[in-house]
């Protein structure tokens, strides 16, 4: 019988257990979007997780969507993140950096007066519950030119290189929760008529271009992707989500990525089974799982590991509590993790 405490080969990385720390920004970095000493201590406390996935680090100054969240576009940020990875590794932990671009889920206030960008000039009309911007306050984004799209792909390439310099164990590409890559995937936010819009294959091109460039930096077995197929954050809609996510999962499987992390609470409308069937790598489940449901999910092979967000904020000793059969402390309300 598989247990949450059993080791897991996640692509090229061996995890000592199947308990993943999901991104949850309980601590904010210091000035300049550089990870702080407080962030370093925060992750070191939770290094017993099989894998830590950090909160999202923007790949460029124009990719941010919240105040004071970290970046990964300059040497000072690399040095700050290296202090984090050193602290986690010193305790035997594994840590991946989440790479991210907010797209239209931003504001000129965060972008030095520049307009947010998106696949199409369609504003976000529904805020995430934890968003710092009311839905009525989102501006109409500027549609990206194909050359700009390719430059953003290059930003992910550079960010992946910086992540290696910061001595992470791998990277997770944030392709969910209504941010830029997700905006390209869904036909409710992508009305382009070029090679990045229209068909499912074209709408997936931006994500797959990013994956392919990151494979040129890391091995595929050190790259994961975050998806949120229910589209329940930041006004995501698609006319055929089953076809969309089946295609995405198959393409990611062809590339032999380490994992897909699916943020989707269990339910009759869940697409996790579709992704599970189409993807040949490891599947990490996230959202709505307590320890009992998580254990059941790995026993039945619904997923290979389970990620906990808010539970880890309140329980830095979550893995030890699981091993000892001790109840978790009540979950704290976490700030937006992206």
Q: Which residues are catalytic?
A: 179
Dihedrals phi, psi of 21, to nearest 5 degrees: -90, 110
DSSP string spanning 78-113?
HHHHHHHHHHHHHTT--EEEEEE--TTSS-GGGTTT
* Residue 5: closest CA among 20, 17, 23, 14: 17
Q: How many CB atoms lie within 10 A of CB 91?
A: 12
**Secondary structure letter of residue 329 according to DSSP:** P
Pairing of strands 13-15, 8-10: antiparallel
| Full DSSP string of 205-219 | HHHHHHHHHHHTTS-
Do residues 187 and 238 touch, judged by C-beta distance below 8 A?
A: yes
Q: Which of 199, 191, 209, 200 is nearest to 104 (CA)?
A: 191
Report phi then psi at 117, rounded to 5: -115, 160
**Side-chain half-sphere of 164: how many Cα atoms within 13 Å?**
13
């Amino acid at each position: 019988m598989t247990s949450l405490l059993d080791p897991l080969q996640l692509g090229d990385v061996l995890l000592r257990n199947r308990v993943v720390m999901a991104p949850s920004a309980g601590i904010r970095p210091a000035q300049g979007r550089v990870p702080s000493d407080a962030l370093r201590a925060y992750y070191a406390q939770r290094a017993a997780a099989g894998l830590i996935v950090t909160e999202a680090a923007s790949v460029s100054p124009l990719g941010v969507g919240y105040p004071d969240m970290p970046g990964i576009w300059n040497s000072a940020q690399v040095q700050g993140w290296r202090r984090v990875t050193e602290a986690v590794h010193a305790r035997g932990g594994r840590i991946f950096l989440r790479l991210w671009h907010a797209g239209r889920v931003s504001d000129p206030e965060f972008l030095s007066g520049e307009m947010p960008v998106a696949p199409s000039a369609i504003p976000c009309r529904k805020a995430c519950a934890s968003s710092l911007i009311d839905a009525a306050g989102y501006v109409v984004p500027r549609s990206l030119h194909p050359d700009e799209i390719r430059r953003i792909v290059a930003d992910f390439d550079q960010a992946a290189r910086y992540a290696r310099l910061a001595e992470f164990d791998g990277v997770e590409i944030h392709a969910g929760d209504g941010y830029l890559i997700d905006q390209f995937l869904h036909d409710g936010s992508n009305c382009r008529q070029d090679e990045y819009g229209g068909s499912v294959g074209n709408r997936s091109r931006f994500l797959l271009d990013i994956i392919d460039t990151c494979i040129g930096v890391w091995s595929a077995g050190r790259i994961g992707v975050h998806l949120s197929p229910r589209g329940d954050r930041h006004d995501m809609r698609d006319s055929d989500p089953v076809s969309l996510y089946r295609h995405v999962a198959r393409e990611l499987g062809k590339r032999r990525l380490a994992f897909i992390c699916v943020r989707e609470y269990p339910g009759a409308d869940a697409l996790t089974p579709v992704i599970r069937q189409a993807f040949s790598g490891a599947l990490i489940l996230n959202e709505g799982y307590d320890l009992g449901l998580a254990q059941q999910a790995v026993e039945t092979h619904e997923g290979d590991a389970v990620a906990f967000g808010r539970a880890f904020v309140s329980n830095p000793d979550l893995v030890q509590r699981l091993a000892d059969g001790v109840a978790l402390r009540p979950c704290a309300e976490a700030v937006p993790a992206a």
